[in-house]
Amino acid sequence: MTRLATTLLILAATAGCGEFEKLELHPLSGSVARGGKPVRDGGIIFLPVDPSGRALTVNASVRDGTFEAVTDRTSATGRTLIERGAPVGRYKPVYHPQSDGSKAGLEVELETIEVAPGGVKVRLELPEAMPTGTGQRRDDHSAGKQPD
């Protein structure tokens, strides 16, 4: 392979890598239970207690009572980068049951957690009394429209 071809291959492979600033992430994982029993599914969004002003989202899917958080970022060009872990800081976890995303009002705020350098493994306990009903239709979903 010629030197020019090799250089072009390297440039093509690394194109777009500079869109995202280096962000130090640390493992954030754990379990979710209710009444001492693992929660089968749902999701958690981790809201920063002291927002950094960065455009990112820390969340996790709950599967068979466990979760592993990821951080989503979107660049100015619209590319998305999803990486395991979370930045150091304090977070307010908000659990939501599995749904199609068209309903609101079923979320539960949990105790604040802290992600330290090196990461953290936490046990989240849902309250015995969860929000009742089927939730309320979000205002951005009309009655007959299927969610995007």
Per-residue CA distances from 26 to 49, 84, 126 (Å): 17, 8, 24
Q: 90 is in which domain, residue-wise? A: 20-122
Tens digits of residue pLDDT in 51-96:
777 778 999 999 999 999 999 998 888 899 999 999 999 999 999 9
Cα of 85 vs its chain's centroid, Å:
9
Tens digits of residue pLDDT in 37-53:
999 999 999 999 987 77
Q: CATH code at 67?
A: 2.60.40
Classify residue 143: in a domain, yes or no.
no
Classify residue 136: in a domain, yes or no.
no
Classify residue 148: in a domain, yes or no.
no
- What is the domain count for the chain? 1
Classify residue 140: in a domain, yes or no.
no
Under 8 Å between Cβ of 72 and 81: yes
Classify residue 40: in a domain, yes or no.
yes
Classify residue 103: in a domain, yes or no.
yes
d(CA 147, CA 100): 7
Classify residue 137: in a domain, yes or no.
no
Classify residue 112: in a domain, yes or no.
yes
